[in-house]
A and B are shown apart, each in its own frame.
Chain A
Amino acid sequence: MKRFLALCLGLIFILSISGCSPIENNLDKRLIVQGIGIDLDKTDYKVTVMYMDTANPVGEADVKSSFVEGSGSSVLAALTDTANKTGREPLYGQCSFIVLGGELIKNGIAEPLEFFTDYYEFHPNINIFCSENAADKIMRADNMSVRLMQDFADTESSTGKTISCTLNEIYADLISGKKSAVTALVDIENKHAVLKGAAAFDGDKKGAVLDSEQCMAVLLLCGDAKSVWDIFPSDEGGNINYSLSYCKSNISASTNEALVFNISVNAHTAAYGAKSNGRLEAKIKSRIKSVCEDTLDTLLKKKKLDVFNLERTLYKDDYGFYKALENSKQSVVLSRVNVQVEIELEK
């Protein structure tokens, strides 16, 4: 009797829980979403969904992808529209990136990101990109693939030419309000998607576009840089090409008389095509310092965007002082920021 009951229980498990037994759940009947582009068309959201072509899965180089568009008054309505058009049940668990279009980043990204945060199928580590162009154009670029977008996201750690961001990171910045959200910016050139630095947000709206040098500076100042490549003209003619690794930064807030932030950046440097000597080290140091100071001046002083974790550092290090501030954002913008760079040049 016991064995019979155990067998029945086992059969229930095998037949009802695992596998894709119902025909409607077969993979070729599912809309396996790989990426989503979102545009704002007046008051409606327009989504471009890139999905795995399961009917004809093997392409020339990669898994073949197809596209479908949908629109609606909310992101969910627009996504439902795409599913209705294909007649397939969507599977969002495989979605690996989201592109936010130009109109959307101008008008505010909080609402769509809130949807992706709340909807259980979307993973929090989805890469978020934005564009000054329509997201639809980016999605339909000739070179568009999941691999390309992952390579774009990995550019932050390989060269420091962008600042990539995942859904949980950007959403945490948006709801905390203590740091301007930043995410990688993609553009379209000759029908090809290309990386163009990053975009910083003022609240949930686009505040500034960061070029690759500014991205490098932000990463160095925040201590998020892993490997950085840079090139700059030498006063002796030619260019100095160098890379930074083991980058670390330390931000401290001093509140004795006026609010002062001291940022020290430390890194190992390797120079290419130039003789390693004391002057070269000084030149690289001066280059990093000037890029960091220019970026601070442009983003913090002129654009009033704190992408450097200054307010968060003050909040953590001296909560009493922070709490007493009437306008913490304004105080951080008006503060003095000292940058100190220490590098160790490989001989």
Chain B
Amino acid sequence: MAKGSAKKEPKVVGENKASTTPFTPARHEIPYDHLLEAKTDARLGKRLRKELGDDKIVAMFGDMVRLRRFEEQAGRAYQRRKIRGFCHLYIGQEAVAVGTMSALGEADSIVTHYREHGHALARGLSSNGVMAELFGKVDGYARGKGGSMHIFDASRNFYGGWGIVGGQIALGAGVAFANKYRGEKSVCVCFLGEGAIHQGIVHESLNMAAKWRLPLITIIENNRYAMGTSIERISAVTDLTKKAVGYDMFAESVDGQDVFSVHAAVKAAADRANNEGRPSFLEMRTYRYRGHSMTDPSDYRSKEEVEQEQDLRDPIVRLRNWIVANKLKSQDELNAIDDAMDRETKDAVEFADKSEFIDPSELTTDVYVEWPFDIE
């Protein structure tokens, strides 16, 4: 799957089976080839079980469920006007966040986009703190000054939460640049949506990351819709790994609905960055169940398309089935984990609701580190 030489087309995991799957989106004339058989690779599962251990895999299941229950609660709170403004739910994409974070170490960094609640939680930020930020309360990670799209936790090298599509790739490359400048062996993972790939800044940054051999892992979360515009309607190529070929960068398409595939790809990319000084470009083929934001009714796709994705490729169900089939846990035990996550995220709503708004005296703080002048 190495792309360096660009001799061959990038190999898509499960590519051969794609054409026979029944998921061809109803409204797309060009069949989209990323649809994969909703089955976890048995050999990969076996390998990761050995590498990670049962507890870690069960914890990854718990993390994915936490992300989903959290977003369900956030959606409800939005409808009650407890959360306002833009709110982009991550439901459907959980395997990408959890698979990625499970492959990173504490010294690694993350820079991400505005659909980032899941990334934050998977990185270890607390449900309470993230929910409080969504509620605009002082116990949020940015004391309510950031909001849903701008979650930061510098203590975990979680460098935000950015709202200008594509802009964060340069910041991510910059964090990776700093790692290299200091001679540290750590990577920066930068998340982008597939809609961001057409921004000029992405190409400027990928070129420099490749030329300067920065320890950058670019993760394209291809959920197939840039707001309401499908990838086929706007991109000259639907195989996004082709974008990286021009920069002689390692590129790979990954089944983003399989947490094991995501973990393995990110782990390999981190090793590649740390040991060979080579950046990677990983296209995670995933799917978002909800609208682009809370105000999007998703009229641009059929209900059947969404249902098929949920029924046949859901990342949580896939991991659940694997865990039960391999007898790490029983259905009942997994249900208990789900219940615990349900409680935790409901508690987070209560916590956020009870938290105070920031004191108005802080309206003008945090603009500068040093500003011994008045603020008008």
Bound together: no
On A, residues with C-beta under 8 Å from B are none
